[in-house]
Structure formats: C-alpha cells, structure tokens
Structure 1
Amino acid sequence: MEPSVAELKQKIEDTLCPFGFEVYPFQVAWYNELLPPAFHLPFPGPTLAFLVLSTPAMFDKALKLFLKSYHLQPLRDPVDQCVSYHLRSVTEKFPELQMEVIADYEVHPNRRPKILAQTNDKMWMLTPGGPST
C-alpha cells in the first residue's frame, strides 16, 4: 500500500527539515502545464513530486557537519554533494518507491536543463513514481 501524500511529505520533512530544508509537494502535470514540451518532465501527469529547498539554516545544520565528516578529503562541489547526500537518505527510506532526484544544475546531453527553476536557492526534486516492480 502506497503512503498518502501527507504521510510521505511528513516522512520526507522528518528526514530533511532538521537539516535546514523545506519540502513542497506538487503534481508533475502542474509543472508541465506551465512549460513548452521541450521542458516537460518525463513522468505521467499525476506523478507526485517534491520541491526541496535549502534554507539559510542548511549551512549550520547540514553543510558544516558534512564538511567535518569529509575533513581533508577533496570535495568538488561541497554544497551540491551535501544536498545529494541528504536526498539519498530520503530515497533509502523508501525502497518500495521508485524515486528519482533531479537537481537544478542537471542538464541533458544537448545542455538543456532537466528542470527549470528560478529561486535564490538550490532546488532539488524527488519524484516518487509509485511502487517498484
């Protein structure tokens, strides 16, 4: 049995909010209706997605701890790597769901962005596609 939107949102918030993230659910159809087809997300319209935003608190609550855990190890992009680490923890909590994380900096081979976002912060999206088969 799949969790309800409210249950899923609460579990994601329980995982991410203590580290300075905010979580907002939406349907892929809502996003796709606003954009030309070239920028549509490749998921069915009723697919549930979550916009995950980092807040200024993420610096103290997540990034500093992440940097300490990687002391003296080279990091290519510490902020993105930190956020990816925390988003992976969410996907690991829901092995029964198909989830894809799309970061705001990801691009297709033709350099077209995988997702369009205009924020003052980073944007990451979790897209549970339903139960794994």
Structure 2
Amino acid sequence: MSSSDRWENVLAKIKNLLPESEGFECYPFRVGTYNDAVSTHFKLDYDERTMAVLILSTPKMFEGGFKKWLRSKKLPGESLDNFSEKVLNPLQDYMTDTFDDVVKKFSEESFIEVIHDFDLTPTRRPKILMCTCGHIAGAAFYLRPQMVSNVPNEIESLFPQKPEKSIIGVSLHPNFGGHFAFRAVFVFKDVKLPETFVEEVPKNPLEGKSEMEELLILFNLHWRDGRFRDCGDPVEKYSDLQLEYFSKPPEQRWEMIKHWFD
C-alpha cells in the first residue's frame, strides 16, 4: 500500500469509528505544520510529515454518543447516587473510553499517541495547543487579539472593564460558532502524509473588525454566559440542556441529566 493510500485509509477508518452522527469531526494535519506555528515548548517530537488528526465534538455529541455511552455504563438496578459516585467525570471518561477503543482498533496497523485537551506536561503546560491545531487543520478559525491590533494598550481600550486575566483568543467553527469543543489529537507515529498534502484553510465566519472585537470582549469578559458561542451565526447550536449542563459545577450536573435514566 502506498503512503498516499495508507493515510487516506487511516483517515477513513477513524472517521468511521468517530462518526459525525455521534457528534465528532476529524481533521488531518501535518505535525510539521503545527510545529512551525508554535514555540519550542509546545513542539511535538515527530518527523514533520507525521500524520496527526484533530478530533472535535459537535452539538450532536451530548445527546447522541455521550448519552448512549453513559446509559450503557449504569448497571441494572444500580441507584443513580451510586452510579454518579463511580463515574466522577462523565464527559471526560466518555472521551477517554471512546478514544481508547479507537486505539485498540488500530493496534495491529499503527502506533498512536492520543493527546487529550486536558493533558498537561509535568510543568503544568498544555501538552498541545488545541486552538492552533484547529486553525492549521482548517477546523475552526482561531481569532487572536493581535489580529485586531498589535498594540496592547489599543486592545485593552476596547474593553469596557479590565479582564481578570490576560486577553486571550478564541476559536469559531464555520457551522457551529462556539458550540463545539476540541477533544483530542491522534498522532499516527508511523503514518506519513505525502508531500502533496495541504491542510484545509479555516473559514472566518466573522465580518469585519467590529465583530472580531465583539467576540474577544464576550469571550474574555462574559464567557460564563455563553454568548460568545453565537458569534458567526452558527447553523447548529448546543441544546438548552447541554448549555445548562456545561454551565453548572460538576457536582450539580447529574441533576440535569437524571431523566436520562428513567
């Protein structure tokens, strides 16, 4: 099998294992493209042509794959209180379990490193910069403050009040706006992308500087209320239940979904 056929077959298989109907999207990119976009601290120690695939979740995931998985884990007759004590981080456990299954399905044909969105280095840095991956893979447009202005004081003057932390960027999906999440990057250690491979170009769903300024303000000052998610006119959004679930502290989330087990 040629290297061209192999990477395409690998991508087709992972898309089949993590289908859009279950709330996933998969975007291939070259490790070298990512490494060129980040500082030394965040570079991945692989050949530049090594194939990586970014996995993100869409609005369908919550009441699709996640709900189905969670219900399958509860034993017959088991009380919800006991079940909730056993599954302390439902969404994180779902992603870990699902991605572990994918790795097992590839065990005889490829070596995979899975880097989750929550993985940190021993020095507490993110193991990978997901927003950068999303941008270079063409999955979501990564709006950074310097795209609005390279003058720090000018950026800060846009804000009606000073943010608690440094002003940071935010990613928008062309179809889902902010109603999505980066979940993991799969690095296929022994799969090389051909020289002719080119990543998709991310689509900017915002029109003009004023919309970019609005997004930065909403995300940095008001991220808890979720209004930033609606920037870019998304065609599909999180359900009210999903939004409420994500807005609650972990200990209050089970109350939101207890009816799934009736």
TM (norm. structure 1) is 0.89
2:89 corresponds to 1:77? yes
| Residues 57-72 of structure 1 mapped to structure 2, 5 A cutoff | 57-71=60-74, 72=80
Aligned match of 2:238: none
Residue 107 of structure 1 pairs with residue 109 of structure 2: no
CA distance in 1, matches of 2:10, 2:49: 15
Shift >6 Å, 4+ stretches: none
- Is 1:7 equivalent to 2:12 in the alignment? no
Structure 1 residues 60, 83: CA separation in 2 closer, same or farther (over 3 Å shift)? same
- Output the CA distance in 2 between the equivalents of 1:26 and 1:47: 9
Partner of 2:22: 19
Name which one, 1 or 2, has greater alpha-carbon Rg.
2
Q: Which amino acid aligns with 1:35?
A: V
Aligned to 1:123: 183
> Distance between the aligned counterparts of 1:68 and 1:124, measured in 2?
23
Output the amino acid matched with 2:111: Q
The partner residue of 2:51 within 40, 48, 56 is: 48
Per the TM alignment, residue 81 of structure 1 is displaced from its structure 2 partner at its CA by 1.1
Normalised to the residue count of structure 2, the TM-score between the two structures is: 0.47
In the alignment, the residues of structure 2 paired with residue 33 and residue 78 of structure 1 have an alpha-carbon distance, to the nearest angstrom, of 35
**Residue ranges of structure 1 left out of the alignment (5+ in a row):** none
**CA distance in structure 2 between the partners assigned to 1:109 and 1:75 by the alignment:** 26
Q: Which moved more, 1:66-75 or 1:38-47?
A: 66-75
Give, in angstroms, the shift of residue 13 of structure 1: 0.5
Q: Does 1:35 align with 2:47?
A: no
Cα pair 2:95 2:183 within 8 Å, conserved: no
Amino-acid identity (%): 34
Deviations 1:77-123 (A, max 9, x none): 11111111111121111112110100111001110110112345133
2:92 matched to 1:90? no
Q: How many residues align?
A: 131
Give the aligned residue type for 1:122: F
